[in-house]
Structure 1
Amino acid sequence: MHILPNTSLGFDLYNVNSNQWDTLEAPFLCLTGTGIMIPNYTCRRQKNVAALLTGATWTASAHIGRLLSLYKYPQVSFGSFDTILSDRRQFSSLYQTAHKDTSLPHGIVLLMLHFNWTWVGLVIMDDHNVAEILSDLRGEMDKNQVCIAFVEMIPDNVSTFIFNSVTNSQIMISTANVVIIYADNEYLSGLILYIDYYLVNWIIWVMKSQWDLSVGKFIFMLDSLHGSLIFAHHHVEFSDFRKFIQTYNPFKYPDDHYLALAWNKHFNCSFSGPDCKILDNCLPNVSLEMLPRNTWEMDMSEESYNVFNAVYAVAHSLHEMIINLVQNRPQGNGEVYTNPWEVIFTFYILRIVL
């Protein structure tokens, strides 16, 4: 199926910080179309933003979602599934691309049984999902006679967890040689720094999701997490994605400043400061494929797959909406202007159909 023929979707990137006020700054700038935050005002005259894609943390999506619900703006979250984001009373315009991990506790326990690991530790994020997660994991473990040696809670304050006293950490004093880390990327970084700091290299780590390799050591083979077992959602591989990454370079995409910075960092190419355009001193035929996997992953990650689905969900919704508009108003001038609430309605219809 060809969607949005003769149409290109543009995009803007906004950095979202952990501070709640800074988190709301980005959507305000996007909605107003200016360099300053002006609530209830927009400088976008005709072509509005079709939707906002948010992630990767549930907290960022939640903060932004409460704001966008006031304006009935469509929001698609590409982070891990979170039950609270499914609350239509709070987030009337938010949709999640990730699915709930209904079979993950069972899969983790099957892995424990396969290797005969019956005395394991559990590290879990202390948030609104902790009671449900503990209930599911304990239920599966009790049924299969897998015992929990300890439960270590990760607090919201990552620095408190990293520099906690060694003697107070159950990870360090427990006799369990296998530890399940039930946390997402948002808090895995703090835990990985903790493990590196204390050189905890005698434990087999089992993680519920992929983690960002950029937060680890540069020498991955000597990392304390080397050899860890990581669960990942199964998804279809896109051959075109790898081909795209193989040919992705700043000469082909000169307006991509982040790509120029990557070439400067990894291949020592020089670039001009103001516009970040690559100048010279580059080796011929270099590509991201030449970098080690702990620096750049060529395969589509779970988060990338969710971003892919989020973009296509928006594109399909716009496509269906434009078809309906053209059919209902065939004598138009060929230009179609959409309202955000129309995209939300199309999202709803597509979810019912699919």
Structure 2
Amino acid sequence: MLGDPHEPLHKYHQSGDFFIGGIASQTFIISSPVDFTQETPSASYEELALITKNYQHILALAFAVKNVNENPHLLPNVTLGFHIYDSYFTARNTYLATMLLIYTLGRFLPNYKCDPQNTLIGVIGGLDPLTSLHMATVLDIYKIPQLIYGPAPVMNDKTPGLPFYQMVPPEKQQYTGICSLLLYFRWTWIGILTFNDENGDRFLEAVFPIFSKSGICFAFIERSHTFSVVDKINEMFEQGGKIHDRIMDSKANVVVAYGPSYSVVFLRWFPHLSGQEKVTNKPEGKVWIMTAQMELTSMVYQRTWDAETIHGSLFFSVHSNAVPGFQQFMASRNPSNTTGDGFIRDFWQQAFACVFPDINEVVGEICTGKEKLEILPEPLFGMNMTGHSYSVYNAVYVLSYALHVWFSFRLRGKMVMDRRGLKFQKECLWQLHSFLKDVSFNNSAGERISFNQNGELTTGLDIINWVVSSNQSFHAVKIGRIDSLAPPDKAFTINESIITWHRAFNQIQPLSLCTESCYPGSIKKVKEGEPFCCYSCIPCPDGKISDQKDMNDCYTCTKEKHPNKKRDFCIHKEKSFLSFEEPLGIGLTSFALAFTLITALVLGTFMKHHNTPIVKANNRDLTYLLLVSLLLCFPCALLFIGQPEKVTCLLRQTAFGINFSVAISSVLAKTITVILAFMATKPGSGMRKWIGKRLTYSIVIACSLIQTSICLVWLGTSPPFPDVDMHSMAEEIVLECNEGSVTMFYCDLSYMGFLAIVSFSVAFFARNLPGGFNETKLITFSMLVFCSVWISFIPTYVSAKGKYMVAVETFSILASSAGLLACIFAPKCYIIVLRPKLNKKEQLIRR
């Protein structure tokens, strides 16, 4: 026959008209495994390991009930009571405690209620998701409200419309807060430490997409085990040592830890379990980021342990505020003045490392009961109300206000009068759900308490920096906040200037990157086979920049700007054109003016010696026309220098083309005249009739007229105009003349090239005529120079950019004009000026 289960070792009862149930999480029972061959004995004191700091949760519930009962306006003529059991962090004890709350108090009679005077209005608990889940499995059947002060468990078969009343923010808000913290400090290479259970799996599934989308990678993911029986301690120690060594060997300086409320107890074990020898005195340090359900807790045996691991860690904590009178209430507690509190004796013995004298075997110091809670270190017990205690305190008031509204509703509706006054019907308390959803009030700390549509308290999270002093005292510094009611861009706030980092970082903000940041001017290139946070840095290609760290791609500057040398920002392009002030412009201008002057001197010399044989030879008028056209060609080059204007753009190509066509056609006419003259001297030749000025002028006019027609069509259809070229030169905005029609431009040049080739060909075939009577050899050489210049011009012009294109064309104009002038007229000027004796008809005939 199955006997009754062992009654819980720890319980706290206070009677009242209505009572609140509480499932605390304070004690581990570390025992040998159960083999089910005999009845399991009740746990002994030696098997108890207390998380002493969690005793504050129990006191918060008792203090809240005390305040409610002292408030004459909240529940007049009604008293609240409570009954609290310990879950012992196990499913079995949690189920037992829940059923003891629902049925007859103090007796295990499942599904029977033998004490109608004790009416349960709701249960507060639990601290960890598994505890809450085990409670909900039972409470949900009876529609009893459950107010949890830890993360909400996943319960797919929960009765629709009956939510968990969650006294802490939803975990999703916490995940986005952690992500914001990591991004704020640019920590993109982090480690994850969780416990190997379904809650750890759910945490990883939740944060993976959030973190990855924000560019955060995982250097490692470690899964730790807990133990519930003695046989598994060694296994846990061995695994914990390996986890510690892998964490410390990692390049990641930031570790996000997620686990149950007592996780810090195991975390403090890690340095003691390491298999690595300490070869230096340099402290090992990581930035630990703890989630909100974790608290800074310790077991009693860890009282004197070094707390270097915790120093500088960042905790997300459920928001709390100072509740008036709570510290005085805790300070007044001692085992001698509390009745019904079955938790305080074991708490007292473990917190103060003493024993009460009524224990059979007294080993160690005797507990006097006069010890002060204020002297306990923070991990064992804190005098400031923690976030979880604040949530328990608020949960009591939530139930009280819901009951208050329910009473008001019942008074207006269904009530029964007897001699003692009002007798409320208590059998319909499940209706409290409809009132709990709409609860809204200001608590004694002055904060608004209300639920959203999902049964989650609309509150935020505090970010705490734990600082451990050299004397091992602990200080909690609030450095930031996650505000659920603020706009998304203002929900996360932090004051980094007051953060104390782990001593290993010398108070310099730690870096946690797989690869050093790519500085502006370079971009990230992901390494094949590695996470996207591990990359190499490559410089931006020509013409592009990156102006921030760790950019994935370079971008092109706007067309008015260009990259600087480091390619990390854009600078305005300078306007560029072939200027009269720059050395190249000065040189070309000087060249043009000098040869204009030389041409004028040659023309003057020829006109002075107008009637000499060498001037009169080979058609004097054509010689003057050629010199005049050359005199105009050199100044034409000046139209290409200076900032392009509408007039200069219209004139530069047309004036150059027409003048050059006149010059080349003059050379062609002179050559044809010489050829016809020699052909006419042959006996019986019919060429004599072609000799004369009519033919020469016809050649010049016809050839020039064709070029003029091309230019007029060009100007009439698509004339050149001032333009801006922002693309040819990376660092300059080129002010240029847009030729309008490229076809007409090349027609202009092509026709001039055609004339030059014809003239060169005719002169080449006439080069062997007697030199004393013609200048075909000079014309041949001059046209060879002319054609060489313009043949070289084509590839040079095509490959040049910006103002250098203009410079190439200007130089070609000057060089080809100078070639004609020098090759044709230099020998004649030599004779006219230096050898006048040769400038006689007899000398020319003799030659």
Shorter-chain TM-score bucket reads 0.7 to 0.9
Structure 1 Cα separation of the partners of residues 338 and 240 of structure 2: 49
Structure 2 residue 424 is the aligned partner of structure 1 residue 345: no
Structure 1 residues 115 and 219, CA gap change in structure 2 (3 angstroms): farther
Written as runs of structure 1 = structure 2, the 5 A alignment for 1:24-63 is 24-63=95-134
Structure 1 residues 338 and 196, CA gap change in structure 2 (3 angstroms): farther
Structure 1 Cα separation of the partners of residues 358 and 431 of structure 2: 43
Aligned residue among 192, 214, 217 for 2:298 = 214
Structure 2 residue 274 is the aligned partner of structure 1 residue 198: yes
Counterpart in the other structure of 1:164: 239
Structure 1 residues 196 and 13, CA gap change in structure 2 (3 angstroms): farther
Greater relative contact order (Cα < 8 A, sep 6+): 1
Q: CA deviation at 1:207?
A: 1.0
The residue matched to 2:172 in structure 1 has which SS?
coil
Counterpart in the other structure of 2:422: 334
Written as runs of structure 1 = structure 2, the 5 A alignment for 1:70-89 is 70-82=141-153, 84-85=154-155, 88-89=158-159
Farther off after superposition, 232-241 or 55-64 = 232-241
Counterpart in the other structure of 1:119: 189
Q: CA deviation at 1:61?
A: 1.6
Structure 1 residues 91 and 249, CA gap change in structure 2 (3 angstroms): farther
Aligned residue among 138, 147, 158 for 2:217 = 147
8 Å contact kept, 1:77–1:96: yes
Structure 2 Cα separation of the partners of residues 327 and 221 of structure 1: 62
Q: CA deviation at 1:235?
A: 3.0
Structure 2 Cα separation of the partners of residues 222 and 212 of structure 1: 11
Q: CA deviation at 1:315?
A: 1.0
Structure 1 Cα separation of the partners of residues 208 and 105 of structure 2: 51
Q: CA deviation at 1:148?
A: 1.9
Structure 2 Cα separation of the partners of residues 91 and 329 of structure 1: 25
The residue matched to 1:230 in structure 2 has which SS?
strand
Aligned residue among 79, 82, 98 for 2:168 = 98
User: TM-score, length-normalised on structure 1?
Assistant: 0.80
The residue matched to 1:71 in structure 2 has which SS?
coil
Q: CA deviation at 1:335?
A: 3.2
Counterpart in the other structure of 1:290: 375
Encode CA deviations 1:278-307: one digit per residue, 9 max, x unaligned. x99565xx5322322232111111211221
Q: CA deviation at 1:57?
A: 1.6
Q: CA deviation at 1:329?
A: 4.4
Structure 1 residues 21 and 140, CA gap change in structure 2 (3 angstroms): closer
* Aligned residue identity for 1:121: G
8 Å contact kept, 1:122–1:152: yes
User: TM-score, length-normalised on structure 2?
Assistant: 0.37
Counterpart in the other structure of 2:826: none
Farther off after superposition, 55-64 or 238-247 = 238-247
Unaligned runs of 5+ in 2: 1-70, 277-283, 361-365, 440-450, 459-847
8 Å contact kept, 1:184–1:208: no
Structure 1 residues 273 and 31, CA gap change in structure 2 (3 angstroms): farther
Aligned residue among 288, 305, 309 for 1:224 = 309
Written as runs of structure 1 = structure 2, the 5 A alignment for 1:184-195 is 184-185=260-261, 187-195=263-271
8 Å contact kept, 1:123–1:180: yes
Structure 2 Cα separation of the partners of residues 107 and 44 of structure 1: 47
The residue matched to 2:83 in structure 1 has which SS?
coil
The residue matched to 1:213 in structure 2 has which SS?
coil
Structure 2 Cα separation of the partners of residues 109 and 33 of structure 1: 47
Counterpart in the other structure of 2:384: 299
The residue matched to 2:141 in structure 1 has which SS?
helix
Encode CA deviations 1:3-29: one digit per residue, 9 max, x unaligned. 112433111121223443332111222
| Equivalent residues, number | 347
What's the Cα RMSD here? 3.7
Counterpart in the other structure of 1:256: 341
Structure 2 residue 391 is the aligned partner of structure 1 residue 315: no
Identity value in percent? 25
The residue matched to 1:163 in structure 2 has which SS?
helix
Structure 2 Cα separation of the partners of residues 282 and 124 of structure 1: 39
8 Å contact kept, 2:132–2:152: no
- Runs (4 or more) in structure 1 with deviation over 6 Å come to none
8 Å contact kept, 1:250–1:259: yes
Structure 2 Cα separation of the partners of residues 239 and 123 of structure 1: 37
Unaligned runs of 5+ in 1: none
